[in-house]
Amino acid sequence: MKYFKLVLSSLLLMGVFSQVKAIEPGKIVGGKVSTLPTWFKESFLDISDDVEEAKENNKHLMLYMHLTGCPYCYKMVEEGFKNSSNTQIIKDNFDVVAINIRGDKEVTLNEDLTMTEAEVRNHYKVNFTPTIVFLDQDNKLVYKVNGYRSAENFKYMLNFVKNRAYKNTTLAEYIYQQKRTKHYQFKAHDSFQTITDLSVKRDKPLLVLFEDQYCVLCNNLHNGHFKNPEILKELDLFDVVRFDAESEQAIIDVDGNKTTPSKYVKKLSLNYRPGIVMFDQGVEVMRIDALLYSYHFAGHLRYIGERHYQQYPESVFDYLRVDRQKILDAGHNIDLSK
């Protein structure tokens, strides 16, 4: 009888456990693979030789740093290189060499410096993909573009380099001198506070958003991220202030200096709109100066807002790798493209 009860109990337990399904790990989705334009240069990745060949045709060399499956790279290739009003400008004035930041091909930057594609990422301090590195005819970096840029904004950068304006001015000053199209009327948001003294000590990190009337992507920010409940939760971790990047309003910067948003954004060398700079304890910790979809945007905010940067000081991506695994282990998918 005892044996029968034992067997029955075992069978009942087996029945119970059979009903409990293990959590299936989530998946990373939304990756997009771009086909590079056929007119990109077939390079042996001897950058010195590529620079010399570009020089012979009175061109600059452009290094297109990309990652397979990167949705931002896909958007940049399709809208910035292939199907763009800039396509002919690029063909006429630049030789373009693609470098996979996780690749293992050997790259010779100059006669004294050879490394793998992946090591080139560290050499040029690439934190986003795509990143575009412009080299002059002496093989010196003259400008670097982090992340996706709209065709209109990318054109300013192409002309800035093509016309060698970098010899006499900054990109910000160059853009201000151009005839620009107005795209944006300033929108209010519940998270915005009226702050004019950024040097005041505060319990929360400080998030400073710079917009202007010429901003191509500001409407997208307000209609997308700023209506996303997950991102609104992260914004609550900050004191948030929004400035018109061309305003002459009197403010005090985080260092206690009297200035204006117009002067301060130039001092910060922030050319991207909408540009976000995050400070904590009076020090800039990180900025968002490129297009980010929801997962990365929320993760960057959380990295600073919850002060994970103290545990992962080298890079936000060190934190995101850990955070990503937690999400996947919990059975949730991560969409990189929304």
The candidate with the shortest Cα–Cα distance to 243, out of 267, 271, 211, 275, is: 211
224 with 154, same domain?
A: no
* Average confidence (pLDDT) per 10 residues, the chain, 338 residues: 51 50 87 94 97 97 96 96 95 98 95 95 92 97 96 97 97 94 97 98 97 98 98 98 98 98 96 97 96 97 98 95 95 94
157 with 262, same domain?
A: no
Range of the domain at 290: 206-335
57 with 168, same domain?
A: yes
Confidence (pTM): 0.90
Which segments within the chain are labelled E, that is strand?
28-29, 60-66, 94-100, 106-110, 113-116, 131-135, 141-146, 206-211, 239-244, 251-252, 258-259, 275-280, 283-288, 334-335
State the pLDDT at residue 23. Answer: 81
Q: Is residue 10 part of a domain?
A: no
State the pLDDT at residue 7. Answer: 46
Q: Is residue 236 part of a domain?
A: yes
242 with 328, same domain?
A: yes
Residue 130, preceding peptide bond in cis (omega within 30° of 0): yes
User: How far is residue 199's CA from residue 281's CA, in Å, rounded to a whole number?
Assistant: 9
State the pLDDT at residue 5. Answer: 54
User: How far is residue 279's CA from residue 267's CA, in Å, rounded to a whole number?
Assistant: 15
Q: Is residue 96 part of a domain?
A: yes
Helix, strand, or coil here: 24? Answer: coil
CATH number at residue 88: 3.40.30.10
State the pLDDT at residue 8. Answer: 47
Among 176, 193, 224, the domain boundary falls at: 176
330 with 220, same domain?
A: yes
State the pLDDT at residue 10. Answer: 54
Q: Is residue 40 part of a domain?
A: no
Report how many domains make up the chain: 2
Q: Is residue 36 part of a domain?
A: no
